[in-house]
């Protein structure tokens, strides 16, 4: 009976991760609508699914309240808590209080799932559950694209591109970046059984990414894979690590100057225009609106309300109708101002540095995961808007990564004084 309950809970976790990834539900409910098609569909099933996940997550947290409370208190992630609280209280000044109330509720609900994920499962168990999740996404994406091309192929972009079980090719591309990271780490982990399965998952993730034609996701994955091997240098002896890092920094600086001077040529060679598909024309307009309410923004989700909201200025001057600024950092400034952006970066960099400390004292490939995911978020948020997005797998895994590194850091701090005390007692006894 106990094993059955464990399997049922793991099944719930995988199902929740699938829904949080944005796979299947919206695509099927919209009837496989294209990017430019305005289709009205009943989204009540999606809302019910998320509500059920919130309820079950809360129940499971209550059943293990001591462990959940231990993670919350012991991690001391004050910046993350403050950011979430700011999103909730932004209903006071929000330009659309009802949207802020709804979005804040879903943000807290999905953040609680991140807490559940890290408090219930070890890092190794988290990886296996993520591998199952992305394995299902990969298999279904091939089925949808080959057997149900109306759903799995996006044909309104000039040429048919794969979108798998997502509503847009960039959705498939973004998830395959995370999938590639998960399978790369599992395949690289020593002593792992059935490593060929993980390398197969990595190869199929790469194939889907290429079939999706998502250039930005492919570029992000290239950087992340290079970062994975660069992070290994951090574990080398200092006399070797320091000269190597200096050499890498010099090469990186040279590449940066070259790319800065040849950005237009490089973008044209990969089929991209210098405006990054209109982003560089959109961003100045967004910045104009940020400076109208720079400190606390327009409220969480309070800006993009079409022609009836402050976003009308963007739509009128941009010549098209975006629903987000195509930058996670600008989106955060619109929602919660420079205060929200500052809280995020303070928490991000503290967790990032603690991730380096954690990784330095470990030989396991799994312990690179928090750094890998946070690096991906940092890069992807330059051109994508899902930084502080509720009901998002990216945000959930960020919350879990922050809790993980904070817990490891606090344990190390609390453990070292005990080791010194024991060492002092041993010395005293020997005298």
∠ CA(325), CA(88), CA(44), 5° rounding? 75
For the stretch 158-213, pLDDT in tens is 678 899 999 889 899 999 999 999 999 999 887 777 788 999 999 999 999 999 98
Q: Which residues, in sequence order, are CB contacts of 385 under 8 Å at separation 6+?
A: 324, 325, 326, 327, 328, 330, 331
- How many folded domains does the chain comprise? 1
For the stretch 227-279, pLDDT in tens is 888 888 777 676 777 777 677 667 766 765 665 555 555 556 555 555 555 67
* Residue 159, domain extent: 2-235+275-415
Residue 250 lies in a domain: no
Residue 90 lies in a domain: yes
Residue 428 lies in a domain: no
For the stretch 28-43, pLDDT in tens is 888 877 655 656 777 8
Tokens 């950092």: give the residue: 329
pLDDT given for residue 423 in this prediction? 39
Tokens 């079409």: give the residue: 306
Task: Please count the CA atoms within 13 angstroms of the CA of 246 that sit on its side-chain side.
Answer: 6
Residue 259 lies in a domain: no
Task: Decide if 150 contacts 176 (C-beta within 8 A).
Answer: no
Mean pLDDT value of segment 359-381: 89
Residue 407 lies in a domain: yes
Residue 194 lies in a domain: yes
Residue 258 lies in a domain: no
Q: Which of 52-61, 220-229, 256-265, 331-340 has the lowest mean pLDDT?
A: 256-265
Residue 336 lies in a domain: yes
């Amino acid at each position: 009976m106990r094993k059955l309950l464990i399997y049922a809970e793991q099944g719930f976790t995988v199902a929740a991760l699938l829904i949080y990834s944005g796979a299947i539900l919206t695509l099927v409910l919209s009837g496989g609508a294209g990017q430019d098609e305005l289709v009205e569909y009943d989204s009540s099933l999606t809302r019910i699914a998320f509500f059920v996940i919130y309820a079950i997550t809360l129940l499971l947290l209550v059943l293990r309240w001591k462990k959940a409370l231990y993670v919350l208190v012991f991690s001391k992630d004050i910046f993350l808590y403050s950011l979430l609280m700011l999103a909730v209280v932004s209903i006071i000044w929000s330009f659309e209080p009802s949207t802020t109330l709804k979005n804040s509720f879903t943000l807290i609900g999905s953040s609680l799932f991140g807490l559940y994920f890290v408090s219930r499962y070890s890092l190794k168990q988290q990886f296996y559950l993520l591998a199952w999740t992305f394995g299902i996404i990969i298999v279904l994406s091939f089925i949808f694209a080959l057997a149900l091309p109306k759903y799995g192929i996006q044909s309104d972009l000039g040429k048919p591109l794969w979108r798998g079980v997502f509503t847009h090719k960039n959705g498939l591309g973004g998830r395959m970046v995370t999938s590639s990271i998960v399978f790369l780490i599992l395949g690289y982990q020593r002593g792992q059984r059935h490593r060929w399965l993980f390398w197969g998952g990595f190869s199929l993730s790469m194939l889907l990414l290429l079939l999706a034609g998502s250039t930005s996701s492919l570029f992000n994955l290239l950087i992340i894979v290079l970062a994975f091997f660069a992070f290994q240098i951090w574990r080398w002896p200092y006399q070797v690590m320091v000269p190597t890092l200096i050499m890498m920094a010099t090469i990186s600086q040279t590449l940066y100057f070259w790319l800065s001077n040849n950005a237009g040529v490089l973008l044209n060679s990969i089929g991209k225009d210098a405006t990054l598909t209109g982003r560089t024309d959109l961003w100045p307009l967004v910045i104009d609106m940020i400076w109208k309410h720079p400190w606390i923004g327009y409220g969480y989700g309070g800006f993009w309300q079409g022609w009836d909201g402050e976003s009308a200025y963007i739509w009128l001057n941009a010549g098209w109708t975006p629903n987000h600024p195509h930058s996670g950092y600008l989106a955060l400034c619109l929602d919660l101002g420079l205060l929200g952006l500052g809280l995020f970066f303070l928490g991000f960099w503290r967790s990032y540095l603690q991730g380096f400390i954690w990784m330095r004292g470990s030989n396991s490939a799994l312990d690179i995961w928090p750094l890998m995911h946070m690096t991906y978020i940092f890069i992807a948020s330059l051109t994508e808007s899902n930084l502080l997005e509720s009901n998002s797998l990216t945000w959930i895994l960020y919350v879990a990564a922050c809790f993980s590194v904070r817990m490891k850091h606090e344990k190390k701090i609390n453990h070292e004084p005990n080791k010194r005390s024991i060492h002092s007692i041993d010395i005293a006894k020997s005298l």
